[in-house]
Amino acid sequence: MNELTVFIEKIYHYEPAIYDIIYNNVFHIFKSNTELKMAVDVWCGAKTRIETEQIYGHISLWNTCAITDMQGLFMNRNFNENINNWDVSKVVTMKDMFDKCYKFNQPLDNWDVGNVVNMDNMFDECVAFNQPLNNWNVGNVRNMSSMFDGCVEFNQPLNNWNVGKVTNIAWMFVGCVVFNQSLNDWDVGNVTNLERVFWDCSKFNQPLNKWDVSNVVTMESLFSGCSLFNQPLNNWNVEKVVNMRWMFSNCSKFNQLLNKWDVGNVVTMQAMFDECGEYNESLNNWDVRTVENMGSMFWNCYKFNQPLNNWNVSNVENMGIMFSGCSEFNQPLNNWNVENVDNIGSMFWNCYKFNQDLNNWDVRNVVNMEWVFKGCPNNQTFEKMFNGSI
């Protein structure tokens, strides 16, 4: 940034009226989205930047007041310039804007993003980015999926954001390994997709009990890898949710009541609590009649030992590895209707205390029984356990 640019920056802060005159009459005004993208292309070229600055001026001073589309503008660029004074008030989409800008870490808090509708992938893999954005007016944004995906340094408050129109926040904070900010006041009532929102947010442990998730259809991997997360969610209305696969996978501290949940529409609970080493809460009143996949559901839930005899599992097809590693589990399951199950491989592997009769089970449709009782006491024969129905 040259001396003239620094001088104009000072005018912006101390004499805004004069700055507006300069901005609108001196700085290069980009009349089209295409012109701006072409200018960015040559600016980011190592051999053409000087020529670009001679034509348009320094990038921090470009007049973008007419621009409506900034999609992918700096995508995959070696870019880290201050563009905080850009006029983005007419911009509608910022999708992929800084996607894979590995070095970008500049303030953007002056931006008026009030007309932006799409922020999908906006800072995806901006591994250095950690700037305040809490004053942004995001009231018109509909899509924030993958917005901070891979922002490993990002840990800024966003509690003031009005996300009431947003329908998709899937993958929003994936891999934000230091992110731990309060989001409990967010209005997520229109959100339908919560897939992997906090995936691998290993430090995240904030309350979310105020969230209205009544329109959410998928919660796959929502908290997967949130190794510190242990917050109450029992008041959530999950009646529309179809997918809970890997929802709490590797949430090693999680041990909260979920007995009030209406899971009557859920189809898959595969690996839902896998590696939840502390989990040991009652789920016996759950209506699981629509569930088809329970594979690895309680895998390595070392402390889990709760009754599940009330479950209607008549539609389940996969129970492979379901209780594998549940070293404390020893509950009656003999009344389960497993006639549609085709996989029980490793189902009770290393359930050291499991010693329940399963002689009522009809396992004639089971294809995989490998290691089903490996590590169980007495290691009973299939004939005894399943009453010869094989």
Tens of pLDDT, residues 315-343: 999 999 999 999 999 999 999 999 999 99
Long-range contacts of 375-383 (CB under 8 A, 24+ apart): 375/348, 375/349, 375/350, 375/351, 376/348, 376/350, 376/351, 376/352, 377/352, 377/353
pLDDT at 386 over 70: no
What would the pLDDT profile of 261-290 be if each residue is shown by its tens digit? 999 999 999 999 999 999 999 999 999 999
Per the rule left: phi > 0, alpha: psi between -120 and 50, beta: everything else, 325 is: left
pTM of the model: 0.91
The domain locations on the chain are: 1-67, 68-216, 228-240+247-390
Confidence of residue 16 (pLDDT cuts 50, 70, 90): low
- Which residues fall within 8 angstroms of residue 159, CB to CB, at 6 or more apart? 134, 181, 182, 183, 184, 185, 186
pLDDT per residue over 195-249, tens digit each?
Answer: 999 999 999 999 999 999 999 999 999 999 999 999 999 999 999 999 999 999 9
% of the chain surpassing 70 pLDDT: 90
Torsion angles phi and psi, residue 17, rounded to 5: -65, -45
